[in-house]
Chain A
Amino acid sequence: MERFLRIDRRIIFAIITVAVIVSLILRFELPIPPSEPVQGVYGKIESLPKGSHVMIAFDYDPSSKEELQPMAIAFLHHCFSRDLKVIGMTHYTGAPGLADQAMTSVANQYQKKPGEDYAFLGYKPGAASLIINMGENLYSAFPKDFYGNDTTTLPVLQGVDSLREIDFLFDLAAGTTIETWIVFGKEKYKFELGAGCTAVMGPDMYPFLQSKQLSGLLGGLKGAAEYEALVGKKANAVSGMRPQSVVHVIIILFVIFGNIVYFTSRRARHA
């Protein structure tokens, strides 16, 4: 029995690869019911009146792109379809390209104009200090947007002086930025905060959901898929749920099989 466990690990790699490719090519429908935390973000956006200011923090870089970029795109579809004003920024040096790409491509589908309907403020260092700076005065934190336009002249920012006037802040987090936004931002400036995060961070966020410090949460690709389904823009995340389901089952079978072999061989040795 034990020799089954000593197979070349490359065989396992091949099994996983084939499983992902096949389940991507074969098309079968899977139900994707929205979970409560995802509904929280969706409901909040639905409740905002036209012209409200939504800020998106793109706090990730290419290494988490496959989980968070689909979320960003689905969320932007929702904002622009409801005629909300969207302001983007990031704490990550690797993010501006991805953020700019997501905002511009979705905005173009709704004929939204840069500077009037949306603005991307770009990257700034400082993390906690940056959030406090934005909370006290957005224009001293971001004197210029990503393309060098003076922020005081941007129509989209009219009526916003600091984080206090932001109607909803959505953080797309690959690291610990959600906690940073809660401690240094929401705690004092009292804006509504929702988040999307990588699956790795997901379980850590539940205490904040129950304490209402987060009004909603999109966890990993599953969260992105639920949001795509809610908004009616099924794309990468929804079709990714097929291989996700299949490979989860394979991995669970691996764990069960490995443990059966482990215990039978241990018992055989003891007998």
Chain B
Amino acid sequence: MIPQSFEYTAPQTLKEALALIEGGERKILAGGMSLIPLMKLRLAQPAEVVDLGRVPGLNYISETDGVVRIGAMSTHHAVETSPVLRAHCPLLAETAAMIGDPQVRNMGTMGGSIAHADPAADYPASLVALEARIRLVSAHSERTVEASEFFQDAFTTSLEPGEIVLEVEVPVEPSNEGSRYEKFAHPASGFAVVGVAARIRKSGDRIAMARIGVTGMGTHAFRDRAAEQVLESGGTIADAAAIVGAGEQPNSDLFASADYRLHLARIHAARALTAALSRAS
């Protein structure tokens, strides 16, 4: 399968890159793990492609003042193995390790993945649970949006034409926090039929804070604040898991109908929360 012809530019600076993508006509290539298969199937036929692979300064993971900053071009492998993330945000490293397969993780990037916003991608569940913020830049602007605002619909984010993801900011998970990403992977595609990210902080025996991010279930990842509320107001994990996804219209496909998918989301929420709780101290 052969992609259609396109013009290719590989800008050497961010400024150059942003100038090229102004207007949003040109397609941005990061790791290519979503875009290139679509181009080969000719489902995507961009006339012009801008490759961010040669833009310096987009590939870093560092921690300052309680915030981990992840450059958009960081590969999933880099996220998975980053000592900074393993120490300060193990949930994200754990999530990255469950994306696709080793070769995909070696090429795919965080910025590319979240900008593509596949409804069954893994990162979004963890990013919304982590209350991550996403820094977006264009030639003329720079802004930061909450992860829960960023993912708007299937393949739809708050990115405006001409904007790219610059960096993801994740608050450091305190050392007493427990977190976990639980995924039911599609056996063929490896995508999350459902994936649930959970974070828990305890205060004595009660749950002081709970965060739940769900992917794969609806048109986009979401934070389940109602279920979080149940836990934070003394409810059990079973109580919370039982209402996960209430009010959402679950996706349905050959592999999992809407009712099964909703059920899986709740089961995996319970599992993720239980594991997170056991990791919290």
Physical interaction between A and B: no
